[in-house]
A and B are shown apart, each in its own frame.
Chain A
Amino acid sequence: MDEIAQDLIERYHQNALNPEEKREFQRRINTDYDFAKEVQWHELALEAIRLEGEKELRRRLTTKGIELDKKAPKRPTTFSWLWVLLMVVVLALGLWFIYPKSTRDEATSPTAPTEKAFPTLPSSPKSLDPAPDPPQAQIKPASVDGKKVFAAYFEPYRDESLELSVRGDAAEKPSPQEYFQQLYWEGKYSAALIAFDSLNSFAQQDKTNLFLKANCLLHAKQGKTAASILEDMTQKGPSRFMEQVPWYLALSYLQTGQVEKAMSVLDEIVEKKGVHFENATQLYQALK
C-alpha cells in the first residue's frame, strides 16, 4: 500500500480529514479492494493497541488501588460511627456514675496542680532551606505510625540556587534540565517527574537532578523508589546534598514503614550534628 493511502487511513482514524479527503476516502473504500482491506488491518491494529493500552492502564490503577488500601487499612463500616457514638455515650455515663464526686471536684478545682502530658521539645532552628519548618508534632511513642510522622516532617527540599531566574537568563528557552528544575521549583512535582524521564541519560545521573527526583517521588508517595535513589547517592560519595540526603533517606524509610532503618539513619545524623540535627533528634525521640 502506498504512503499516501497509509497517510489517508491514519488521518481518517485521527478524525483529521477535510471534507474533500473524506469523499476520496469513501470513494477508495468502495472501489479499491486492497485499500478497503488495508483499512480493516489498520482498525484491527488500533483495536489491539487499545486493548494493550487499557491493560497497562488497568495495571497502573490496580497498583494505585493497592497502595491506597495499604494506606487506609481500617475501613469504616456503614454504621461504625453510630457504634462509636454509642460507646462514647455509654462510657461517659459509666464514668459519671462510677467516678467519685470528690475526685471530680478535685480535678476541676482551680488550685489543683496541672501537669503537661509531654515535655516541651526544643524548637528546631531555621535550617539553611527557605522551606517552612516542619510542624512540631507531638507523637505518642507507643503508637508510632511512620507514614503519619513522615507527613508531619516532610517538606520537599528548597534552595534558592535552584530557581531558574537566579541562575541564568530567564528569557531564553530553558534546556530540558532547566525545565525539570523549574517545575520542581514551582512545586509541580508530578510534572517534574515526567520531565525527568525526558532528560538524557547523562542528566539523569546528575546528583542534583537525582536528589530532586527523590523529593518528587517522596511527594508522590513513592518512598521505596526515593529510598533506593538516596541510598545510591549515599554510596556514591560526596555531593552538594551530602547533608540533606540522610534526612530525606530517613523520611523515605518512614514513608515505607521501615521505622528501624529510619531510626538508624536519624541516629547517624544526630551523632554527626549535621544540618538536620534538631529535627533528627526530635524525630528520633518520637520514634523511640
Chain B
Amino acid sequence: MASNSNAETIINALQAGDSHAIEALYAHHREGFFRWASYRFEGNRQDFEDAWQDAIIAFYQQVIQGKLLHLRHEVRTWLYAVGYKRLLNNKRKLKRILWKDQIDDALLVIDFEQETVDPEKIKFLHAALKSMSSQCRELLVARYYQNLGIEEIQQNWNLKNSNTTSATLSRCLGRLKDCFKKTFTTFSNG
C-alpha cells in the first residue's frame, strides 16, 4: 500500500469522497503507532486505539474542511504527532524517552489542537439530531461533514434531481435549527 505514504494521494482521495481511503489509512499505520506509542507510554491497547482514532478523525476533518491541503511531513508523522499529543493530554505515565525521532521534530511545527466540547452541550446536540429522521441525519452528515456535492448525494440517495436534493437538505437543516430555536425559546420563557 504505497499510496498511503503519499500525502497528496490520500488528501485527494478524501476530498473526492472516497470513504474507504480513511479506513485504509487507519489500518495501514495502526500497528506501527501502537508499537511506537508503547515504547513511550505506560498505556494499554485501548488508550492507544483511542489516541489513534482521534488522530485519524482529526486528519479527516482537517482535510475535509480544507484546512490541510499540503503536508510538510509524511502522513504517518502527522498522525503519530497528533496521537502523541492526545496521549500526553491524557496524562498517562510517560516512559523515559531514550531517543528522539522525526515525530518530536514534527511536534514543534504541527500546530493542531483538538477542540474540546462541553459534555452537556454534546448531549444536547445529539438529542436534537436524534429527533430527526435517519434520512435527514444521513443527508446532513453527507453534505456538511463528508462534504459531498449535491449531485453525489442525489445519486447515492436516489433523489429525483439536484433541486429536490438541495430542497431536502435545506428542509433538514431548517428542522435542526428549529429544534434548537424551540429549546432555547422554552429555556428563556421558562
User: Contact residues of A with B, CB < 8 Å?
Assistant: 6, 15, 38, 41-42, 44-58, 60-62, 64-65, 68, 72, 78, 176, 190-191, 193-194, 197-198, 200-201, 220
Q: Are B181 and A41 in contact (CB under 8 A)?
A: yes
Q: Name the contact of A45 in the complex, choosing from B22, B30, B176 (C-beta under 8 A).
A: B176
Q: Which residues of A contact B181 (CB under 8 A)?
A: 41
Known: A56-B141, A57-B22, A190-B18. A48 touches B128 (CB 8 A): yes
Q: Are B128 and A57 in contact (CB under 8 A)?
A: no
Q: Which residues of A contact B22 (CB under 8 A)?
A: 57, 61
Q: Are A49 and B144 in contact (CB under 8 A)?
A: yes
B72 at interface (Cβ–Cβ under 8 A)? Answer: no
Query: In the docked arrangement, what's the CA distance between A72 and B20, Å?
Result: 21
Q: Are B20 and A194 in contact (CB under 8 A)?
A: yes
Known: A41-B177, A51-B122, A198-B156. A191 touches B129 (CB 8 A): no
Shortest Cβ distance from B156 into A: residue: A198
Q: Which residues of B contact A68 (CB under 8 A)?
A: 27, 30-31
Q: Which of B140-176 contact A (CB under 8 A)?
A: 140-141, 144-146, 155-156, 158, 170, 173, 176
Q: Kindly provide the distance from the CB of A79 to the nearest chain B CB, expressed in whole angstroms.
A: 12
Q: Are B129 and A49 in contact (CB under 8 A)?
A: yes
Shortest Cβ distance from B34 into A: residue: A75
Q: Name the contact of A48 in the complex, choosing from B31, B125, B170 (C-beta under 8 A).
A: B125
Segment at the interface with A among B54-62, B80-88, B96-104, B105-113: B54-62
Q: Which of B58-100 contact A (CB under 8 A)?
A: 60-61, 66
Q: Are B129 and A52 in contact (CB under 8 A)?
A: yes
Q: Are A64 and B141 in contact (CB under 8 A)?
A: no
Q: Which residues of B contact A64 (CB under 8 A)?
A: 23, 26-27
Q: Are A51 and B126 in contact (CB under 8 A)?
A: yes
Q: Which residues of A contact B18 (CB under 8 A)?
A: 190-191, 194
B137 at interface (Cβ–Cβ under 8 A)? Answer: yes
Q: Are A61 and B23 in contact (CB under 8 A)?
A: yes
Q: Name the contact of A201 in the complex, choosing from B128, B141, B158 (C-beta under 8 A).
A: B158
Shortest Cβ distance from A63 into B: residue: B23
- A interface majority secondary structure: helix
Query: In the docked arrangement, what's the CA distance between A200 and B53, Å?
Result: 34
Q: Are A50 and B145 in contact (CB under 8 A)?
A: yes
Q: Are A15 and B66 in contact (CB under 8 A)?
A: yes
Q: Which residues of A contact B126 (CB under 8 A)?
A: 48, 51-52, 55
Q: Which residues of A contact B66 (CB under 8 A)?
A: 15
Q: Are A198 and B155 in contact (CB under 8 A)?
A: yes
Known: A49-B140, A191-B18, A194-B19. A57 touches B176 (CB 8 A): no
Q: Kindly provide the distance from the CB of A69 to the nearest chain B CB, expressed in whole angstroms.
A: 9
Can you list 19 contacts pairing A with B, beta carbon distance less than 8 Å?
A38-B177, A41-B180, A42-B177, A45-B176, A45-B177, A50-B61, A50-B145, A51-B125, A52-B126, A52-B140, A54-B145, A56-B141, A57-B60, A61-B22, A72-B31, A191-B18, A194-B17, A194-B19, A197-B156
Known: A46-B144, A64-B27, A65-B49. A190 touches B180 (CB 8 A): no
Q: Are B129 and A48 in contact (CB under 8 A)?
A: yes
Q: Kindly provide the distance from the CB of B21 to the nearest chain A CB, expressed in whole angstroms.
A: 8
Q: Kindly provide the distance from the CB of B109 to the nearest chain A CB, expressed in whole angstroms.
A: 23
Q: Are B57 and A57 in contact (CB under 8 A)?
A: yes
Q: Which residues of B contact A57 (CB under 8 A)?
A: 22, 57, 60
Q: Which one of B18, B145, B180 has the highest number of Cβ atoms from chain A below 10 Å of its Cβ?
A: B145
Q: Are B156 and A62 in contact (CB under 8 A)?
A: no
Q: Are B38 and A62 in contact (CB under 8 A)?
A: no
Q: Which residues of B contact A176 (CB under 8 A)?
A: 155
Q: Kindly provide the distance from the CB of A148 to the nearest chain B CB, expressed in whole angstroms.
A: 18
Q: Which one of B61, B117, B144 has the highest number of Cβ atoms from chain A below 10 Å of its Cβ?
A: B144
Q: Which residues of B contact A45 (CB under 8 A)?
A: 140, 173, 176-177, 180
Query: In the docked arrangement, what's the CA distance between A60 and B22, Å?
Result: 10
